């Protein structure tokens, strides 16, 4: 790059960092445009000559370079691109959706998402009524987002545009999700300080609500397309962290476990491998530790603490921030404490990697602790991981813990479905239930008696649902708590059920069904892969004498879609994950097909309207049969019959043929009936009619096969019919003109005689006027326009009434068009003879005049 171009580039970057956009010229005359993207980064675009619009530059497929403006401390970082996915333009029709999956390894530094859509949403015009059809983007950690599990509200929708700040405070997004209105251009960059490693899902929706899963004969509305790219950057070594890979992570080395005397606990101790660590003026220190399996307690302590070579005092201290899966910040962390005063105790920690940050602070003011930057703090950091023996759990290791065995269901059409039973029980492989009482922890007078069950969800089963079903012959005295990655407690759980009024109902991913005092039935929806823990807390253990049975399973669709739909399993956009959903029938919708969208009475009413309205085909069929137009009679009868059979199948009454075949026949024969009516109005030869019918049959068959429900089809059909009628008239008139025999002298006389030309045109107009009954013809066009309006007005909710009106109007217009044709009889033959006689007379008279001249 030349010196001049570099100076221009530096100017663009400087102005772009302050939120502006600068345009300069390069050495080759190209434009250099800078766009602010995120903190300290500007998107610099080199545009070729002739590209002047800023929007053109932003949206064109140009090569771009991202230049980071880094300070002297950040220039030494080392990162590389872990993965990059490009998504070509994809169309999302109304009430359809797509999922995009992104895998973030533990050493990732940032994730960048760039999406370009053709959506233009005005936040000020969004109302509660329009949310159901609003294009939106949702994201969730661990499993796909699903914003409409409950049909009453959308608690995850944020009425703002998505931005980098949307990822702040996303520590618990495996239990919830965030949704934002879709926008035209989205550019996001989330760092490892904002989100945790693992699997993240982005969901792109074009309308939500119960109607999203309802089977629809038509699917009309606004569609949008998207294209984009996702890239993941990572640090070259796992010892580095931070969005710029410039933070060193100190790994704690762990000794062999040993038994804690008198408590029956296994203790794993970890300490800094470099011994005592000291803080100079280089900011906080970051440490990491992996919790391999379920643990009861994590203890973080600091020993041999000194400040500037002296022992700690009340005015100074060490602040510790702990966070699971990501580097903790001063305002984003899971646990915190002054470890120079007391150990930081984390009860029932999650499995996986933990990060802690230690920072010297001024502890003199209890209301606000301030960093100390000018002192030398030294300490020895130690961790202890306390774990119970196999089969035991709880802080005192007094509760029972069972690892459940996975029993796969033999159903190849529904993958990843399984039952879970305790390994310690000798149960039949086909058994789906197990008794609870023999597995309970020892009873006591305390209400805090727990029994824990661990189950593993395969990573490929993400998008399935945990089904918990408990039944008893007496009043249930249990509370159920569920948690991912660690044991649950009264204060630390993801989902819970205490009774019918105290539970996680209303949570985005907790679906409670018919539960009462003797039965508990709920689903944890779209669970993430990994270890899940279920804790049963027994209440009043001394007053329990009933028998309790538990069923625990992984299912693809809740309640088997209530037998109102079928369970479909498809891959996400990346092709890496399988998720399932209910494809409901015409009368039901919702996540599990439990929402009745059409009542039984409404179903009968819609069936009668859609089927009986095809009786209007009798009108044009009767006229065709009476006038011996047998081909048209067969076509109208076939069209009406196939339409009635198709709608009988569509509403779920009876399917005489496969649905796809009936749909094709209905639309194809309907299109053919309309076009053939126009062709019939002309009086061309049978050979010409057969030619036009063949062409029309091919065109309408393609329309019925490729997109039968497109709103523009009615325009295409009317245009084809009008074109066929025009071609028929042209063929007819050209044939009539060729049938006249003109002498050379008469032809010359005709060219110079104005009255003769005027008479010729008058004859054509009279023929057209006498050919059609224009009252019927205009009435046919009016009714056909009503049919076009009915077609255009069809929507998912009002389809039945408008489509029934379409049947009546379409067949009635054909009947009126048929009635508008004048049947030629003897009068026409007489007029033809008179015309021939007149022409012969004129020819004889001309010849006589010529002879007299000679």
User: What integer pLDDT is reported at residue 46 of this predicted model?
Assistant: 46
H or E element at residue 779: helix 774-793
- Output the pLDDT for position 255: 59
CATH value of 265-387 in 3.40.50.1000, 3.50.50.60, 3.40.1170.60, 2.60.120.380: 2.60.120.380
- Is the torsion defined by CA of 410, 412, 418, 424 positive or negative? positive
Question: How distant, in Å, are the alpha carbons of 254, 580, 668 from that of 406?
Answer: 32, 20, 51
Nearest 5°: phi and psi at 273? -65, -25
pLDDT digits (tens, 9 = 90+) for 601-656: 988 998 999 999 999 999 999 999 998 888 889 999 999 999 999 988 888 778 88
Domain 398-556 indexed as CATH 2.60.120.680: yes
Sign of CA dihedral 644, 650, 652, 654: positive
What rounded mean pLDDT belongs to the chain? 78
pLDDT level of residue 52 (50, 70, 90 thresholds): very low
Residue 293 has pLDDT above 70, yes or no: yes
Tally Cβ neighbours within 10 Å of residue 690. 11
Is the pLDDT confidence value at 753 over 70?
Answer: no
Tell whether the model's pLDDT for residue 687 goes beyond 50.
yes
Confidence of residue 16 (pLDDT cuts 50, 70, 90): very low
Strands 258-260 and 478-484: unpaired
Parallel/antiparallel/unpaired status of strands 310-311 and 297-307: antiparallel
pLDDT of residue 686: 78
Contact of 392 with 401, CB cutoff 8 Å: yes
Residue given tokens 């045109």 in the structure block: 761
Q: What confidence score (pLDDT) does residue 854 get?
A: 43
**DSSP conformation letters of 798-850:** THHHHHHHHHHHHHHHHHHHHHTBPPP-HHHHHHHHHHHHHHHHHHHHHHHHH
Q: Give yes or no for residue 387 having a pLDDT over 50.
A: yes
- Considering only CA atoms, give the Rg of the chain: 39
Q: Is the predicted pLDDT of residue 737 greater than 70, yes or no?
A: no
Q: Which of 102-116, 210-224, 446-460, 753-767 has the lowest mean pLDDT?
A: 753-767
Q: Does 836 have pLDDT greater than 60?
A: no
Per-residue model confidence (pLDDT) at position 772:
76
pLDDT tier at 158 (50, 70, 90 boundaries)?
A: confident
The secondary structure element, H or E, covering residue 203 is strand 198-206
Q: Please measure the distance between the N-terminal and C-terminal CA atoms of the chain and give it in whole angstroms.
A: 98
What is the four-CA torsion angle of 801, 806, 808, 809, rounded to 10 degrees? 130
- Specify the pLDDT at position 575: 73
Q: What pLDDT sits at residue 558?
A: 92
Secondary structure of residue 761 in the 3-state scheme: helix
Contacts of 768 (CB under 8 A, 6+ apart): 729
> % helix / strand / coil in the chain, to the nearest 5?
30, 35, 35
- The mean-pLDDT minimum among 384-388, 603-607, 809-813, 826-830 falls in 826-830
What percentage of residues in the chain have a pLDDT greater than 90? 24
Q: Which residue has the higher pLDDT, 41 or 193?
A: 193
pLDDT value of position 747: 52
3-state SS of 115-182?
Answer: EEECCCCCHHHCCHHHHHHCEEEEEEECCCCCCCCCCCCCCCECCCCCCHHHHCCCCCCCCCCEEEEC
Which is higher by pLDDT, 553 or 21? 553
pLDDT at 552 over 50: yes
Q: Which residue has the higher pLDDT, 636 or 506?
A: 636
pLDDT at residue 660, as a whole number? 86
CA distance 705 to 696: 14
Contact yes or no for 221/795 (Cβ under 8 A): yes
On the 0-12 / 13-18 / 19+ scale of CB atoms within 10 A, 687 is exposed
Which is it for strands 465-472 and 478-484: parallel, antiparallel or unpaired? unpaired
Answer yes or no: pTM beyond 0.85: no
Q: Over the stretch 177-193, which tens digit does the pLDDT of each residue have? A: 788 899 899 998 888 88
Please give the pLDDT value at position 773: 84
**Which of 260-274, 410-424, 659-673 is most confident?**
659-673
Q: Is 807 or 169 the better-scoring residue by pLDDT?
A: 807
Q: Give the pLDDT band (50/70/90) at residue 525.
A: very high
pLDDT of residue 805 exceeding 90 = yes
- Does residue 372 surpass a pLDDT of 90? no
Q: CA 584, CA 602: separation in Å to the nearest integer?
A: 17
Contacts for 65-69: CB closer than 8 Å, 24+ residues apart: 66/37, 66/41, 66/42, 67/9, 67/13, 67/41, 67/42, 68/40, 68/41, 69/13, 69/17, 69/40, 69/41, 69/42
The answer to whether 421 touches 403, Cβ cutoff 8 Å, is no
CATH number of 79-241: 2.60.120.380
HSE of 363, CA atoms in CB hemisphere, 13 A: 17
């Amino acid at each position: 790059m030349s010196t001049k171009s570099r100076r221009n580039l530096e100017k663009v970057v400087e102005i772009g960092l302050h939120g502006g956009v600068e345009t300069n010229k390069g050495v080759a005359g190209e434009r250099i445009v800078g766009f602010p993207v995120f903190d300290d980064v500007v998107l610099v675009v080199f545009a070729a000559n002739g590209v002047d619009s800023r929007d053109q530059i932003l949206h064109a497929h140009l090569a771009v370079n991202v230049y980071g403006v880094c300070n002297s401390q950040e220039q030494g970082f080392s990162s590389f691109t872990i993965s990059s996915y490009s998504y070509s333009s994809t169309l999302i029709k109304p009430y359809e959706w797509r999922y995009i999956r992104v895998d973030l390894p533990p050493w990732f530094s940032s994730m960048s998402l760039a999406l370009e859509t053709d959506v233009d949403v005005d936040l000020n015009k969004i109302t509660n009524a329009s949310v159901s059809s609003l294009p939106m983007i949702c994201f969730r950690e661990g499993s796909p987002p699903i914003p409409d599990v409950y049909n009453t509200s959308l608690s995850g929708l944020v009425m703002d545009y998505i931005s980098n700040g949307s990822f702040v405070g996303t520590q618990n997004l495996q239990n919830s999700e965030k949704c934002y209105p879709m926008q035209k251009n989205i550019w996001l960059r989330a760092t490892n300080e904002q989100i945790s490693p693992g699997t993240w899902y982005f969901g792109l929706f074009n309308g939500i609500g119960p109607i999203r899963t309802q089977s629809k004969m038509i699917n009309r509305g606004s569609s949008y397309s998207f294209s984009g790219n996702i890239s993941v950057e990572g640090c070259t070594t796992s010892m580095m962290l931070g969005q710029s890979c410039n933070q060193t992570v100190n790994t704690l080395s762990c000794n062999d476990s040993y038994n804690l005397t008198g408590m029956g606990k296994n203790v794993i101790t970890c300490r800094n491998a470099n011994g005592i660590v000291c803080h100079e003026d280089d900011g906080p220190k970051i440490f990491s530790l992996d919790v391999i399996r379920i643990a009861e307690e994590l203890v973080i302590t600091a020993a041999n603490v000194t400040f500037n070579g002296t022992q700690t005092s009340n005015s100074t201290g060490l602040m510790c921030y702990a966070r699971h899966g990501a580097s903790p910040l001063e305002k984003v962390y899971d646990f915190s404490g002054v470890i120079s005063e007391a150990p930081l105790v984390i009860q029932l920690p999650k499995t996986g990697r933990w990060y802690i940050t230690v920072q010297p602070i001024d502890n003199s003011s209890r209301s606000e602790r301030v960093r100390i930057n000018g002192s030398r703090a030294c300490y020895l950091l130690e961790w202890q991981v306390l774990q119970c023996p196999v089969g035991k759990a709880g802080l005192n290791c007094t509760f029972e813990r069972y690892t459940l065995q996975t029993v796969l269901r033999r159903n190849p059409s529904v993958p990843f479905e399984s039952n879970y039973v305790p390994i310690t029980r000798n149960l039949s492989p086909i058994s789906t239930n197990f008794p609870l009482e023999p597995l309970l922890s020892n009873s006591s007078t305390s209400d805090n008696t727990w029994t824990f069950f661990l189950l593993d969800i395969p990573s490929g089963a993400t998008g399935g649902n945990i089904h918990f079903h408990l039944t008893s012959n007496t009043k249930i005295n249990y509370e159920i708590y569920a948690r991912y990655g660690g044991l649950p407690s009264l204060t630390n759980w993801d989902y819970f059920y205490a009774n019918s009024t105290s539970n996680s109902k209303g949570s985005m991913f907790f679906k409670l069904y018919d539960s009462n005092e003797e039965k508990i039935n709920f689903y944890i929806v779209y669970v993430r892969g990994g270890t899940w823990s279920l804790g049963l807390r027994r209440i009043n253990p001394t007053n329990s004498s009933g028998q309790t049975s538990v069923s625990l399973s992984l299912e693809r669709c809740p309640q088997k879609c209530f037998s109102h739909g079928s369970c479909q399993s498809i891959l996400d956009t990346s092709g890496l994950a399988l998720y399932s959903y209910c494809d409901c029938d015409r009368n039901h919708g919702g996540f599990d097909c439990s929402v009745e969208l059409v009542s039984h009475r409404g179903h009968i009413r819609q069936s009668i309207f859609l089927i009986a309205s095809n009786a209007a085909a009798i009108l044009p069929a009767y006229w065709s049969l009476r006038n011996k137009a047998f081909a048209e009679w067969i076509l109208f009868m076939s069209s009406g019959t196939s339409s009635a059979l198709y709608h009988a199948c569509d509403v779920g009454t009876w399917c005489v043929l496969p649905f796809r075949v009936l749909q094709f026949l209905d639309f194809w024969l309907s299109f053919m009936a309309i076009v053939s009516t126009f062709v019939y109005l002309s009086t061309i030869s049978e050979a010409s009619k057969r030619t036009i019918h063949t062409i029309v049959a091919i065109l309408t068959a393609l329309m019925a096969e490729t997109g039968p429900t497109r709103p523009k089809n009615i325009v295409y059909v009317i245009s084809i019919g009008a074109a066929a009628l025009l071609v028929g008239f042209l063929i007819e008139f050209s044939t009539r003109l060729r049938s006249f025999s003109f002498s050379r002298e008469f032809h010359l006389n005709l060219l110079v005689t104005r009255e003769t030309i005027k008479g010729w045109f008058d004859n054509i107009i009279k023929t057209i006027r006498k050919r059609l009954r224009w009252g019927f013809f205009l009435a046919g066009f009016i009714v056909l326009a009503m049919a076009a309006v009915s077609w255009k007005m069809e929507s998912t909710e009002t389809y039945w009434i408008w489509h029934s009106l379409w049947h009546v109007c379409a067949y009635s217009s054909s009947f009126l068009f048929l009635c508008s044709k004048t049947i030629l009889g003897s009068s026409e033959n007489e007029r033809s003879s008179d015309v021939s006689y007149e022409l012969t007379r004129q020819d004889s008279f001309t010849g006589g005049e010529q002879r007299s001249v000679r």
